[in-house]
Amino acid sequence: MRSAILKIALILLLPIAACNSDNEKINPGVNPETDNTTAGTDGNTKEITGFNISQAQPIDSTDYVIYPLSVSENDDNDNGIIYKSSGRSSIYHNIIFYNLITKKYHLLNNRKMLITTYSVKDGSVDYPVNSAVNQSSRYIYYKAIVKDYNGDGKLDMGDPEYLFISDLQGSYFKQISPDDMNVATWQEIPKKGKILMELTTDTNGDKKFEHEGTSIPYVYDVNNDETAKPVFNKPFTDSVSNLLKQQWGKK
């Protein structure tokens, strides 16, 4: 009798064990001791079936390598989960930082975003997102889209790119450029603790940043927790504009 009861109990437990095994399989790469992030979803997105882990890139002078993440090729991107435009490199939705010594790892951040470029180099040239990370800086720079500015229901290249930074371990990820302004280029002045950037605005209110015109210089102080500020104030730029009209305007 006891033997029969044990057989029945084992039969009942088998489906539970199988469910636990399946749950472990659909969460690859999660370190239960260090991972404190959760996958976010919203009502406008379709189910995502998987993601791609790109080739590891070592971060010089650190114990870390990074693994950029993109959604699998066969997943539907109509709702803006990920966006890949024709003729450019992949755009990523997150990056894993892995410590080769401690074997611990974490995501760069758990917010919904598209990372279009990342680099430690100056942004005067639009380095491709998959360029080698060659550390000569205290920071890693990211151009990322995080806001549906044009209101089309998704994040894509029609929305402004903001400038973010983190340390070389992928911690302290934060936005340093102002909202609703598109980052064109940036340049770090390490000895002065400043980051200079050129920003463009939606000049005519059509929710686009493609108009011809001059970019606006901004400066970020790395010792200050505020976002970047304009280099020149409005009274000064107005006076320059008026001087230009006086000297070169039509008579």
pLDDT at residue 47 in the model: 53
Q: How far is CA 50 from CA 72, 76, 86, 115, 121, in A?
A: 6, 11, 22, 18, 31
Q: What is the pLDDT of residues 154-186, one digit of tens each?
A: 888 889 999 999 998 999 999 999 999 999 989
d(CA 206, CA 104): 46
pLDDT at residue 35 in the model: 40
Dihedral pair phi/psi, residue 94, rounded to 5°: -175, 175
pLDDT at residue 112 in the model: 92
pLDDT at residue 203 in the model: 79
pLDDT at residue 182 in the model: 94
d(CA 33, CA 39): 17
* E strand map for 105-193: 105-107, 114-119, 139-145, 162-167, 174-175, 182-189
d(CA 69, CA 170): 14
Whether the full predicted model's pTM is greater than 0.85, yes or no, is no
d(CA 68, CA 129): 9
* E strand map for 83-213: 94-99, 105-107, 114-119, 139-145, 162-167, 174-175, 182-189, 194-200
pLDDT at residue 31 in the model: 39
What does the pLDDT profile of the chain (251 residues) look like in tens digits?
Answer: 545 444 444 344 444 344 443 333 323 333 333 343 333 334 344 455 567 888 888 887 789 999 999 865 444 455 455 444 434 457 899 999 999 999 999 999 999 999 998 886 655 444 444 444 444 567 899 999 999 999 988 888 889 999 999 998 999 999 999 999 999 989 888 888 899 999 998 877 788 876 556 789 999 998 888 889 999 999 999 999 999 999 998 76
Rg (CA), the chain: 24
Contacts of 128 (CB under 8 A, 6+ apart): 88, 89, 117
Dihedral pair phi/psi, residue 167, rounded to 5°: -80, 180
pLDDT at residue 224 in the model: 85
Q: How far is CA 144 from CA 111, 155, 160, in A?
A: 11, 10, 8
User: Is the distance from CB of 82 to CB of 54 less than 8 angstroms?
Assistant: no
pLDDT at residue 18 in the model: 41
